[in-house]
Structures are given as structure tokens and as C-alpha cells.
Structure 1
Amino acid sequence: MIPPKPTPRPDRVSLWRYMRLFRRDILSAQPERLYHAWMAEFRTPFFRSYLANDPALLRTILTERPRDFPKSNRIGEGLRPLLGNSVFLTNGATWEKQRRIIDPAFERGRLSHSLPAMWDAGGAMVARVLDMIGTGQQIEIEEITSRAAADVIFRTLFSIPIDDKIAAEVFHEFRRYQRAQPILNLAAFVPLPQWVPRFHRSETKAAARRIRSLITDLTTRRMQAITKGTAPDDLATRIMTTPDPQTGETFSVDDMVDQVAIFFLAGHETSASALAWALYLCAADPTWQTAIATEAVDLTHASQVKSLTLSRDVFRETLRLYPPVPMMVRETTRPETFRKRAIPKAAQLALSPWHLHRHTRLWDSPDAFDPARWQRPENRQSVRDAYMPFSTGPRVCPGAGFAMAEGPLLLSMLLRRISLSPIPEKPPQPVAHLTVRAKDGIWLHAVPR
């Protein structure tokens, strides 16, 4: 089964048209040749950028010499009103300190503390859908997965369900922000001094202020509970009470507001995107949908997530075809030579999971939905060299293990109770803004199983 992907642009377009295309959707703004190129160069009057698909280059940039290729500040320009000084945007010593505090909360042994919250959020999701569809109904699945992923975040982070008043407000404000915020603004294309005002949309700035105000309220109340000794043992408490092993410092309320913003953006937006596309792919391929439903018949507790082999393979394949974060950008700190090409200092290096995961030289039938590929020995090298939905190396997403438990679990919980089928006249059209979503939503027909 070949699921939809964006139509690429012509190989050559003007800078102005490229900027307009990129602002609207970064996927259809790219040419077809990137699906089989090891490296590509883009020149503008303001900067040079290079896309790297060569696995050897990716190892150099992300794993072997990551300090020489920090995150580009230009991509962060559009997100800074919301994310502040979060771990997603920082580099160097600040980033290293933040990761020393955050990483222990996501260690494999402590992930089990979050599984009951995932289970409860999944149960609430299934109940909502069953109540919504009656004996059968068309539903927009992204709205459902967005709410479910937000529920998981609030239950695991602050021990409150999505129905809590503040949690519900944050969720709705994030939905507004996602629609209002393009992935790039002017500062992403033109290097501006710090004193130059940033041209963020007024609605983007207003939404960011509202979200941060609500998160500040939650975080302040949690800090008070920690001081009184009444705080629950959830992710927020663990992170806020973890000292930096080198300095002994912990996050202040202001520090934590930045981190909660990225936890929600990364853990909500990306999880909602991946789960929605996984449900669409299963709807379009009844064989795999039935297999997952059958596998999940005896599922009675979240700790059984390790046994969901088929669901996990479907989720991996979904992340290959529709990586929630389709592109990452690093910057050179000195002149480099890549594939016999001279790369200047301050060049932008685009690392694209979207193109890497569909690269014609690295995958068999790269555009096909084929979860069975994850069990075939001949695909091991591609999986090792050309699969990075959570990045890789020191800057790998700390929540990768969390996501790989949440996704298969919620996928199985829904499909064992509900049967989905595509609506031919409403095919989804993938676009990338903050994450890879469908332009007009993902519409499916749902009936109780």
C-alpha cells in the first residue's frame, strides 16, 4: 500500500517562491532529487544551506562531533516566544546542564511510573470515541489523537487529566498556536542582529503568552507542593527535584516553564501526529489493522506494552513514513569539507528524516507501508543507518522511549475496540508546520468492533 506524500516542487524556483512554499509547507517546498541525493546545496543571497542524506555525514554531525554542529538558532527564531530557553533551543554548556537534570526522569527504569497514566488516557480516548460514533460515524482522527496525547502529557507530567480546567485551557491554546505559527519567519532566512525586532505574528505572540501564563500557574503550584512535601511522584516532581550532578542546582520555576513548554510541544504534537498517521495507515490496510486488534485482545494492563510486537512494528513504520519532525537544522562552527565539497563557517546543515526515511538508495520500496520490513534481516543496515525519527547521538530526544511505549499502547487500545476505514473522497494531504499533519485533517469511518 502506497500512502500519500506531498508533490515536490520544480527543481528550480526563485528565492521568493521558495520562501513562500517553505513558509506554507516545508515538504512540498523541496525538489524530488532529495529522495536519492547524498547531499544537496542551496544558495541564497543571505546564507548557504546543505542537505545531508549520507549516513556517514549524519554520523559525523550527530554522533562523532556534535559540539562542532550546534542547533541552528535560525529555526529557533520562530519558536522562541513559546519555548524561551528550553532544552530544544539551547546549545553548549546550557544545554548540557539541562539534559543532566532532565534525562534521569526518562531513564528506562523510571518509565514504568508513567505507564498507568498512559493506560488511563488511552481508556478515556476509547470511551470518547465509542460515545462519539454510536453504531458508526465519520470522525476526524487528528482531533482525537491530539486530545489523547495531551491527556497523556498532563497525567504523566502533572497527575491531572485533560478535563482539568487549566489542562483543558493549555490544550486549546496549543491548538491555536499550532495553527498560527509557521515553522519559519523572516529571521530564519535573513540573519538578524539581536537588537532587531522579530516579526512574529501578533496571534502567535499572544497565544505563547497565554500558554506560558497557564504553565507558570501549574509549575508554581507544583513547586509549593514540593516544598510542603505533598507533591505526587510524577515527571514534573522528578525533574524539579533533580539536582544537576555537577553544580547541585535545580530548575527554578522560570526554568521549568521553558521545559514544560517543550515537553508539551514535543510530547503532544509529535505523539498526536504519529498516532493519527498510524491509525490512517491501519485503516487503509485492513490486514494490519486486524492483526493489531487480534494481538491486543488479551491486553489488560499497560505493562503488557512490551508484548505488542505487531503494533510496535506498525508504529515504527509510521514514524519512517511520517516522521513528526521532518527536518532538523545544524550549523557549522568552522569550515568543513563534506563529500569533497567545501562548506563555509555558519552554513546551515539540514538533516531531513523525511527524505532519509524515503531515500531510494537506502530502503526497498521506500514509499510503501510495509511494517513487516522491521523483522526482515536484510533491512537491519537501513534501520541502523537511515532511521532517526527522534534524532540520534547526544541530542537524541529524551522522550524517545516514552513515545515508543505510548504510541503502540494507544494504537492497540483503540483498534481492539474500534474498526476504521478510509473515506476515498477525503484522502489526507500531509503538510509540515510544527509537525507533519494533514492539511484538512484525517477523516476515517469508525464503527465499534
Structure 2
Amino acid sequence: MTPPKPEARPDKVSLWRYLRLFRQDLLSAQPQRLYRAWMAEFRTPFFRSYMVNQPDLIRAVLKERPDAFPKSNRISEGLRPLLGRSVFLTNGEVWKRQRRIIDPAFEGGRLKDTFPAMLNAAQACADRLSGRVGQRVECEEITSHVAADVIFRTLFSVPIEHEVAAQVFDKFRIYQREQPLLNLAAFVPVPSWMPRFHSRKTRQTASEIRDLISRLTDERAIAIENGSAPDDLATKIMTTTDPETGDRFDAQEMVDQVAIFFLAGHETSASALAWTLYLMAMHPDWQEKLAEEAKALDMPKFSTLSQLKLSRDVFREALRLYPPVPMIVREATCPERFRDRDISQGSQIVVSPWHLHRHERLWDRPDDFDPTRWTTENGKKCQREAYIPFSAGPRVCTGAGFAMVEGPLILSMLLRRYRFETIPDETPVPVAHLTVRSKDGIWLRLVER
């Protein structure tokens, strides 16, 4: 069985038809030819956008010359109400300073420190599901809850049931469905000087989330001051100084960073885990292999993760088929020439993990679910050149290692206790909200082992 993907639109449609499709869903608005194209141009009356799928062009944009292709402000404005000037949105020296302060918190040795919190969140999730055996369950709801639990436990040493954490989670669920990751400005004729309008509800929800995060960061600042703060990620980040300037994040900057940690660390993991569970239901043979492997968690410790090799390969394959962030948008700061095309300054350069990971001229059987592909020559080559679920280069997601511990751990913890089964006539349809989610949820039947 081939995993579901959106039905691509015809290659040629009018601009206004394209706009209507785009507003419904970013993924299904794109033509089928993009799964074969090395490069494609999107023309509007005000600017040009170029999607690049050719590995050497992607390498130039993301790895070799990242300063020449900063994050597009057209995209940033869509998320500004919630994320402020977080590391996800900034460029240049501001971004470099932020990464110098943040990166030490996610270095290899810190992953071992966060493992107990991840494990407790995964166990709590498995326990919560015990009362729903035999029922239809919506997987995105389950994975959103456990991913948020992981973030609060590792950041602030509090579970999702904590009063403020629970409120942030509830309000973020409202925000998540309202705000697309990519606004129309990336692809359609919206001049750069035109303000980006956000609905009153979007602005209000973002403000409420930020106020709640401020409560957590203010309390932590007091605990750091009096020496009672736990040794978690929030404490690490708030006490780390920029090695070049000696500065720390001020209160407002810390709220910005926590907002993106929650969005990126919770939203992306939830998306990837939900699709992984659906793939396991589609492929019960693989589900049984992972359940057998997960017996290693009977006596769980950090070193046990090295035994979850199949789970890691399955999770990696799910990230290939359903990359949580489907498109990455950069802006050309000077004239360029790509594939004999002149790229003018200010053009939008779109790198699409969604299309790159399914590219017909790069991957063997690109639409098939095959966790064994990572041991093949084609799989190894594509992993180096055409696999970017966490972006690439200097702006690679600082939590990539964190996610590759969290995902296989939670997946294994659930599969050792439960079996997930597909439900007839309930095939999920991928759409792009903040991340790649299902149009009407991912519904599976939960069976106890």
C-alpha cells in the first residue's frame, strides 16, 4: 500500500484558481511536475519565486552561502505575532548571537540529561491511553499532547498538567489551525511594502500564549536568582552568556525563544509521530517488528536507545514521507544565476522538503514506505543530498538530535503496549497548517497487546 499524499493540481491553472487552491491547502495547490523538476518558476506581477529541487542548488542556498539567502521576511511576518524576534525568524548577526546562546543547551551531553523527562512523558502517554482500548482514537490529538508534555518537562521541569502549561497547550491548539506556516506572500502578488494583516483572534491568541510563557520565564528568573532553579533547558539557556559579548537573553528575548521551542519542538514532533503511527497501522508487519524491539524498554535507560534501530529507521522514513515543515523560503540578496536562469535580487527561493523527499529522479520508489532504504546505496546517497527534514547548514534545527531521541522513544513506548489498526474509509489526507497534518485528523483503532 502506498501512503497517502495530496492529489496534485493540473499543471496549468489561472492565477486566481491557484490562489483559491493555495488558501485551501499549500500542498495540493502544487502541480505534479514538481516531483520531477529540478527547478520551477512562479511568476507574479510583483516578484518571482523559484522552487529548487536540484541538490547542488539546495546545498548552495542552505549550506555554502547561507548569508546570501537569509530567511524571507515575507514568511516571517506571518508568524511574528507569536514568535516575535525568535531564532526561527531572525537573520544576520542577531540570529548568530541567538544561536551562540541556545546551541550549548542542545549539545550531545545534554540529551542524556533530558532522557528521564522524555521517558516520563512517554510513559504517561501510554498510561493515559489505557482507558481507550478498543476505541477509535485521533492520533494527532495523542501526539500533540505527549510532545507538549515533553517540551514542558524538558524546558521547565513541569508536566503538561501544570496549570500554566495546560493553558499554553490549549491556546496553541486554537492558534495552530488558524495560522499557516507559509502565508500567501511567498507565492502570490503581495508587494513587500504591504502590511501583513492578522485576524483579531490570531493576535489575541498569540498575546495570551506569550503572557503565559512570561509567567513561566519570570518565575524561573526568580528561581535562578535565589539558587533554587532545576537544571533543565530553560535554566541552561537563561544562564548561558554569549561567548563573544557576554550578554544573556533579556526577559522579552526569552519569551520569543520559548515560543519557538514550543512551536518547533511540539508541533513538528507531533506531526511526525502521528504520521508514523498511521504508517505502522498500514504496515502491521513493521509494527510487530518495532513492538518486539521495544521490549528493550522493559528496563529503560539512555543507553537503551541504541537498541531501537528499527524504530529509528521507521521514524526517519516517516520524516521523509511527511516532513513536518513542508517548505523552506529564503530570499536572494543579490542577483544569481541558477540553471541558466537569471534570479533577480529579492526573489523568493523555495526549498521544499515535501517535493525533494519524493523526487522521482532522486529516490528509488519515492512514494513507497520502506525503512530498509537507508541501508541501500540510493538511500545513503539521498540521505546525504536530498533529505532535509530539519533543514540543513548553519540553520539546521538546533533540536534535531533531540527529536531523533524523542520520536523513536515515544513510538516504541506506545507500540510495546498497544497495536494501532486502520479504520476502513478513514484515509488521512495531508494538508499544510503550521506543519503537515491531516485534513480531518488521523483516526486509528487502539488495541491492547
TM over 0.5: yes
How far, CA to CA, are the matches of 1:19 and 1:324 in structure 2? Answer: 23
Matched AA of 1:283: A
Residue 236 of structure 2 corresponds to residue 216 of structure 1: no
How far, CA to CA, are the matches of 1:191 and 1:91 in structure 2? Answer: 21
Match of 2:288 in 1: 290
Q: Does structure 1 conserve the Cα–Cα contact (< 8 Å) formed by 2:180 and 2:432? A: no
Match of 2:176 in 1: 178
Match of 1:347 in 2: 347
Supply the RMSD in Å over aligned alpha carbons: 1.1
Match of 1:269 in 2: 267
Q: Does structure 1 conserve the Cα–Cα contact (< 8 Å) formed by 2:356 and 2:387? A: yes
Match of 1:201 in 2: 199
1:163 to 158, 161, 164: 161
Residue 313 of structure 2 corresponds to residue 313 of structure 1: yes
The residue matched to 1:296 in structure 2 has which SS? helix
How far, CA to CA, are the matches of 2:393 and 2:446 in structure 1? Answer: 40
Match of 2:21 in 1: 21
Q: Does structure 2 conserve the Cα–Cα contact (< 8 Å) formed by 1:145 and 1:273? A: yes
Superposed displacement of residue 369, structure 1: 0.4
How far, CA to CA, are the matches of 2:129 and 2:266 in structure 1? Answer: 19
Q: Say which is worse superposed, 406-415 or 106-115, in terms of deviation.
A: 106-115
Match of 2:57 in 1: 57
What are the Cα deviations for residues 271-300 of structure 1, in whole angstroms up to 9, with x where unaligned? 000000000000110010000000011312
Match of 2:95 in 1: 95
Matched AA of 1:129: L
Residue 324 of structure 2 corresponds to residue 324 of structure 1: yes
Superposed displacement of residue 16, structure 1: 2.3
How far, CA to CA, are the matches of 1:357 and 1:57 in structure 2? Answer: 15
Q: Does structure 2 conserve the Cα–Cα contact (< 8 Å) formed by 1:359 and 1:366? A: yes
Q: Does structure 1 conserve the Cα–Cα contact (< 8 Å) formed by 2:52 and 2:58? A: yes
Q: Does structure 1 conserve the Cα–Cα contact (< 8 Å) formed by 2:363 and 2:378? A: no
Superposed displacement of residue 182, structure 1: 2.7
Q: Does structure 2 conserve the Cα–Cα contact (< 8 Å) formed by 1:302 and 1:409? A: no
How far, CA to CA, are the matches of 2:305 and 2:143 in structure 1? Answer: 19
How far, CA to CA, are the matches of 2:259 and 2:234 in structure 1? Answer: 12
Superposed displacement of residue 186, structure 1: 5.7
The residue matched to 1:79 in structure 2 has which SS? helix
Superposed displacement of residue 185, structure 1: 4.2
Gaps of 5+ in 2: none
Residue 255 of structure 2 corresponds to residue 252 of structure 1: no
Superposed displacement of residue 184, structure 1: 4.2
Residue 446 of structure 2 corresponds to residue 446 of structure 1: yes
Match of 2:395 in 1: 395
Q: Say which is worse superposed, 422-431 or 323-332, in terms of deviation.
A: 422-431
What are the Cα deviations for residues 198-230 of structure 1, in whole angstroms up to 9, with x where unaligned? 310111111101100000110111111111111
The residue matched to 2:149 in structure 1 has which SS? helix
Q: Say which is worse superposed, 16-25 or 402-411, in terms of deviation.
A: 16-25
Superposed displacement of residue 187, structure 1: 4.9
What are the Cα deviations for residues 294-347 of structure 1, in whole angstroms up to 9, with x where unaligned? 001131224111210000000000000000000000000010001111110000
How far, CA to CA, are the matches of 2:183 and 2:354 in structure 1? Answer: 21
* TM-score (normalised: structure 2): 0.97
Match of 1:429 in 2: 429
The residue matched to 2:216 in structure 1 has which SS? helix
Superposed displacement of residue 197, structure 1: 4.4
Match of 1:48 in 2: 48
Matched AA of 1:199: F
Superposed displacement of residue 424, structure 1: 1.8
Superposed displacement of residue 131, structure 1: 1.9
Residue 297 of structure 2 corresponds to residue 301 of structure 1: no
Matched AA of 1:33: R
Q: Does structure 1 conserve the Cα–Cα contact (< 8 Å) formed by 2:364 and 2:378? A: no
Superposed displacement of residue 10, structure 1: 1.4
Matches for 1:33-182 after TM superposition, within 5 Å: 33-133=33-133, 136-182=134-180
Judged with a 3 Å threshold, the aligned counterparts in structure 2 of structure 1 residues 302 and 269 are, in CA distance, closer, same or farther, namely farther
Moved over 6 A (4+): none
Superposed displacement of residue 76, structure 1: 1.1
Matched AA of 1:295: E
Superposed displacement of residue 232, structure 1: 0.3
Match of 1:243 in 2: 241
The residue matched to 2:86 in structure 1 has which SS? coil
Q: Say which is worse superposed, 377-386 or 330-339, in terms of deviation.
A: 377-386
How far, CA to CA, are the matches of 2:238 and 2:124 in structure 1? Answer: 28
% of aligned pairs identical? 65
Q: Does structure 2 conserve the Cα–Cα contact (< 8 Å) formed by 1:24 and 1:433? A: no
How far, CA to CA, are the matches of 1:413 and 1:107 in structure 2? Answer: 24
Match of 1:406 in 2: 406
Gaps of 5+ in 1: none
What are the Cα deviations for residues 425-448 of structure 1, in whole angstroms up to 9, with x where unaligned? 111010011100000000001111
* TM-score (normalised: structure 1): 0.97
The residue matched to 2:349 in structure 1 has which SS? strand
